[in-house]
Amino acid sequence: MKKLLLAPNPDQAGLSVNVTGINQNGQTVNIAVVTERPLTLFLNGQEIVTMMTIGDFPDLLAVGYLLNQNMLLDTDEITSIDHDADIATIVVRTKRKTDYENKLKKKTQTSGCAQGTVFGDIMENFEDIELNKKAVVKTSWLYQLQKKINTAPSLYLKAGAIHGCVLCHENVPLVYIEDVGRHNAVDKIAGYMFLNKIDSADKLFYTTGRLTSEMVIKTAKMGIPVLLSRSGFTAWGVDLAKQVGMTLIGRMRGERFTVLAGQERVEFDHE
**How would you class 46 by CB atoms within 10 Å of its CB: exposed for 0-12, middle for 13-18, buried for 19 or more?**
middle
Confidence of residue 3 (pLDDT cuts 50, 70, 90): confident
Cross-strand partners of 31: 19
Confidence of residue 178 (pLDDT cuts 50, 70, 90): very high
The dotted CATH code for 137-267 is 3.40.140.10
Average pLDDT (171-187) is 96
Confidence of residue 117 (pLDDT cuts 50, 70, 90): low
**How would you class 181 by CB atoms within 10 Å of its CB: exposed for 0-12, middle for 13-18, buried for 19 or more?**
buried
Span 140-159, pLDDT tens digits: 999 999 999 999 999 999 99
**Contact criterion met (CB below 8 Å) for 109 and 115:** yes
Span 46-99, pLDDT tens digits: 999 999 999 999 999 999 999 999 899 999 999 999 999 999 999 999 999 999
For the chain, give every domain's residue range: 137-267
| C-beta pairs of 79-83 under 8 Å, 24+ apart in sequence | 83/58, 83/59
Q: Is the pLDDT of residue 115 over 60?
A: no
DSSP classification of residue 4? P
